[in-house]
């Protein structure tokens, strides 16, 4: 078994959870906050058989729609010009696949 962890933007989470559920994958959703952009994210957890990992990753690729948005970085110290917005790509999933030795539903 494997544990698939996917970090996704909070706006994309409902669509991705729906796609994973429609594919027959159980998923747990945890709120989180990103360090680089200080934006709200969601961590999705799915325990799947080894042979299902690629199907989960493919679903994440299809359901996560990358887009470009302007983001303002952290504020500058007093007396300096405000930072200009920078366009960044958001909407992709960052995926971790971990070996899962044991799974129990208690």
DSSP 4-18: EEEEEETTTHHHHHH
Strands (E), the chain: 2-9, 28-33, 40-48, 67-71, 86-90, 94-99
Taking Cα atoms as reference points, which of 103, 93, 89 lies closest to residue 19? 93
Range of the domain at 11: 2-72+84-99
Q: What pLDDT digit, counting tens, does each position of 76-100 carry?
A: 666 677 677 778 777 788 999 999 9
Cβ atoms of 58 and 65 closer than 8 Å? no
Confidence of residue 18 (pLDDT cuts 50, 70, 90): very high
Does residue 7 sit within a domain?
Answer: yes
Q: Is residue 51 part of a domain?
A: yes
Task: Give the chain's length.
Answer: 106
Position 79 in a domain: no
33 located within any domain = yes
Q: What is the pLDDT of residues 21-80, one digit of tens each?
A: 999 999 999 988 766 556 688 999 999 999 999 999 999 999 987 778 777 766 666 667
Domain-located, residue 106: no
CATH number, position 93: 3.30.70.120
pLDDT attached to residue 44: 96
Residue 105 lies in a domain: no
Domain count, the chain: 1
Residue 104 falls within a domain, yes or no? no
Cα distances (angstroms) measured from residue 50 to each of 4, 38, 95, 96: 10, 33, 15, 14
Within a domain: residue 31?
A: yes
- Predicted local confidence at residue 37, as pLDDT: 58
Statement: residue 19 has pLDDT above 70: yes
């Amino acid at each position: 078994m494997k544990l698939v962890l996917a970090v996704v933007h909070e706006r994309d989470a409902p669509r991705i959870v729906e796609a994973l559920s429609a594919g027959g994958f159980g998923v747990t959703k945890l709120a989180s906050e990103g360090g680089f952009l200080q934006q709200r994210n969601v961590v999705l957890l799915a325990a799947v058989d080894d042979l299902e990992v690629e199907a989960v990753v493919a679903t994440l690729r299809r359901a996560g729609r990358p887009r470009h948005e302007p983001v303002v970085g952290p504020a500058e110290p007093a007396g300096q010009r405000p930072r200009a917005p920078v366009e960044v790509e958001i909407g992709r999933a960052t995926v971790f696949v971990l070996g899962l030795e044991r799974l129990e539903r208690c």
